Copies of this chain bind each other. A is one copy, B any other.
């Protein structure tokens, strides 16, 4: 089974690394990082690059597609090469997945029409404009489409899909080895839980971030 994780300029690192570290532990699976060009791809902070080992063209028919998000997703919404690849890969994939605003790319490719899906909490409205039915859940499965909420939710998505494919016991083993027993020092991880002034501040800014 081949898992392709798509990189593009200014993606968010944890969006990609969460599923890589969980779903990527699928037995006998090959995980490959892909991008339009092979080589280092810079994240949104500019302080880190992950290597795309193969081009999109090198990996035309992965079994699982994983699309991360990040501020760099916006220009990719009009990148025909990437959207064409997503549509072609989706035509033969077993699972098509996203983390954060990666779901906007799936939606822009026309893959989420009429489907329940999620995204970063600041991007749920935009997701609706592309014909998906946004939900605020952390991991949403609709048919073969598995979308996750913002950034860190890719860990939960990865474990969920890992359990579905390889069985609960294998997913529990990966959770144990990655010691995923979260103990956040604050309880501010969603717009329902965070202080209202922070939620408002970011909603005010989001019109400039997400279009």
Contacts and interface: CB of A to CB of B under 8 A. Distances in A.
A184 to B, nearest CB: 6
A14 B178 contact: yes
* Closest 4 pairs (CB-CB, A-B): A150-B179, A181-B189, A182-B182, A172-B188
A181 B121 CA distance: 12
Contacts of A165: none
A172 B123 CA distance: 19
A175 B171 contact: no
B50 A49 contact: yes
A143 B120 CA distance: 36
Contact of A176 (B20, B40, B51, B198): B198
A32 B46 CA distance: 10
A208 interface: no
A191 interface: yes
A186 B181 CA distance: 10
| Interface size class, chain A | 35 or more
B179 A153 contact: yes
Contacts of A17: 13-14, 17, 48
Contact of A178 (B53, B151, B172, B180): B151
Interface in A103-160: 120-121, 138-139, 149-153, 155-156, 159-160
A202 B176 contact: yes
A179 to B, nearest CB: 3
Contacts of A178: 14, 150-152, 189
A205 B186 CA distance: 35
A183 B193 CA distance: 14
A72 interface: no
Given A48-B31, A49-B51, A180 B189 contact: yes
Given A24-B47, A175-B189, A181-B193, 16 more contacts: A17-B17, A17-B48, A40-B40, A48-B51, A149-B181, A151-B180, A152-B180, A155-B182, A156-B183, A159-B184, A159-B185, A171-B186, A172-B198, A173-B202, A176-B198, A179-B190
